[in-house]
């Protein structure tokens, strides 16, 4: 239902260290930030997933040894990434900060020359957006993805492990990364129809 309307969705498949099993979950287009002119998901140099995590979830990841234990975070603040609620009149009002207010965590699948050998290896770097503190750095490749020159044992390239699968509806006419759906195609027509109907009613009333 979502794909024809939005036009672009992602599935993230990975091993969950908390549940200790492989999981696959839906990631919306607004929660996975990719260079608009990237030719494909695999060719994108950097992919950043926006994840909302409560204080209790972050502590659980610390206890499991997934996040760094010595990183202390301030109390979470309201962010534009967190949806607001509506009052009785339908106006948007900011939610209150309490124990369930989530942190905005950025999980970035990128490349980084950590060993300073002149070649950038694939890594996953997780930070907390507000404080910009690093929570986790983990390799995004395995031994099977390392291609070496047989004669000199020089690393030619390292193939990263891809966590995301892209599902598109209508390819973007301008060549952009994000595909389009009926929501974008029909949205302007609906607005035009609403305007015409309102004008007809106003004219008739006048």
Residue 194 reports pLDDT greater than 90: no
Indicate the pLDDT class of residue 187, thresholds 50, 70 and 90. confident
Please tell me the distance from the alpha carbon of residue 156 to that of residue 151, in angstroms, as a whole number: 12
Per-residue pLDDT at 190: 77
pTM: 0.81
The residues that bridge with 24 in the sheet, in sequence order, are 13
Give residue 34's pLDDT.
Answer: 96
pLDDT digits (tens, 9 = 90+) for 145-169: 999 888 887 888 999 999 999 999 9
What's the farthest any 2 CA atoms get from each other in the chain?
Answer: 87
Q: Which residue has the higher pLDDT, 89 or 3?
A: 3
Question: Considering the chain, what is the average pLDDT of its residues?
Answer: 88
In the sheet where 8-16 sits, what is the strand order?
21-28, 8-16, 164-168
Q: What is the pLDDT of residues 32-87, one digit of tens each?
A: 999 999 999 999 999 999 999 999 999 999 999 999 999 988 888 766 555 555 55
DSSP 97: P
Instruction: Say if residues 116 and 68 touch (Cβ distance below 8 Å).
Output: no
């Amino acid at each position: 239902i979502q794909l024809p309307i939005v036009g672009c969705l992602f599935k993230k498949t990975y091993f969950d260290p908390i549940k200790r099993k492989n999981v696959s979950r839906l990631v919306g287009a607004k929660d996975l930030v990719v260079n608009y002119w990237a030719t494909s998901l695999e060719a994108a140099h950097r992919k950043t997933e926006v994840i909302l995590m409560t204080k209790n979830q972050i502590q659980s990841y610390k206890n499991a040894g997934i996040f760094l234990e010595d990183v202390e975070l301030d109390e979470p603040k309201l962010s534009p990434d967190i949806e607001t609620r509506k009052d009785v009149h339908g106006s948007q009002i900011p939610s209150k900060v309490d124990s369930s207010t989530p942190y905005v965590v950025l999980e970035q699948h990128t490349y980084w020359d950590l060993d300073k050998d002149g070649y950038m290896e694939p890594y996953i770097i997780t930070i907390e957006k507000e404080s910009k503190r690093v929570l986790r750095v983990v390799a995004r490749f395995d031994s099977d993805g390392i291609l070496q020159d047989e004669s000199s044992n020089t690393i030619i390239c390292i193939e990263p492990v891809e966590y995301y699968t892209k599902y598109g509806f209508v390819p973007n006419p301008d060549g952009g990364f994000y595909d389009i759906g009926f929501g974008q195609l029909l949205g302007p027509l609906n607005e035009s129809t609403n305007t015409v109907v309102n004008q007809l009613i106003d004219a008739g009333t006048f």
